[in-house]
Amino acid sequence: MTNKKCVAMLLAGGKGSRLNSLTKDLAKPAVPFGGKYRIIDFTLSNCTNSGIDTVGVLTQYQPLILNSYIGIGSAWDLDRRNGGVTVLPPYSESSEVKWYTGTASAIYQNINYLEQHNPEYVLILSGDHIYKMNYDLMLDYHINKEADATISVIEVPWHETNRFGIMNTSVDMRIEEFEEKPEQAKNNLASMGIYIFKWSVLNEFLQKDNQNKDSSHDFGKDIIPEMLKLNKKLYAYPFSGYWKDVGTVQSLWEANMDLLDENCELNLFDQNWRIYSVNPNHPPQYISPQAKVKQSLVNEGCTIEGKVIKSVLFQGVAIDKGSVIKESVVMPNTRIGKNVILEKVIVPSNMVIPDGTVIKERKETSEALLITPDSICHYA
Residue list, annotated binding site for alpha-D-glucose 1-phosphate: 100, 165, 180-181, 191
Minimum distance from residue 303 beta carbon to another protein (Å): 9
> Which is it for strands 189-198 and 97-98: parallel, antiparallel or unpaired?
unpaired
Nearer to another protein, 241 or 283 (CB): 283
Least CB distance from residue 275 to another protein, whole Å?
7
Contact at 8 Å (CB) between 341 and 360?
yes
Report, in Å, the least distance between residue 324 CB and another protein: 15
Nearer to another protein, 323 or 357 (CB): 323
Residue 288: CB minimum distance to another protein, A: 6
Q: Which is nearer to another protein, 188 or 333 (CB)?
A: 333
Q: Which residues contact 379 (CB under 8 A, 6 or more apart)?
A: 357, 358, 359
Q: How far is the CB of 299 from another protein (least distance, A)?
A: 4
> How many CB atoms are closer than 10 A to CB 138?
21
Name all contacts of 166-175 with Cβ < 8 Å and 24+ positions apart.
Answer: 166/190, 166/191, 167/191, 167/236, 169/236, 173/145, 173/235, 173/236, 173/237, 173/238, 174/233, 174/234, 174/235, 174/236, 175/151, 175/228, 175/234, 175/235, 175/236
Between strands 54-58 and 84-88, the pairing is parallel
- Spatial contact of 306 and 288, defined as CB atoms under 8 Å apart: no
If the CB atoms of residues 214 and 262 are measured against another protein, the closer one turns out to be 262
**At closest approach, how far in Å is the CB of 66 from another protein?**
20
Q: Which is nearer to another protein, 139 or 304 (CB)?
A: 304
Q: Which is nearer to another protein, 36 or 232 (CB)?
A: 36
Binding site for another protein (CB under 8 A): 34-36, 74, 262, 268-269, 274-277, 279, 281-289, 291-300, 308, 312-314
356 neighbors 372 (Cβ within 8 angstroms): no
Instruction: Confirm if 182 and 166 have CB atoms less than 8 A apart.
Output: yes
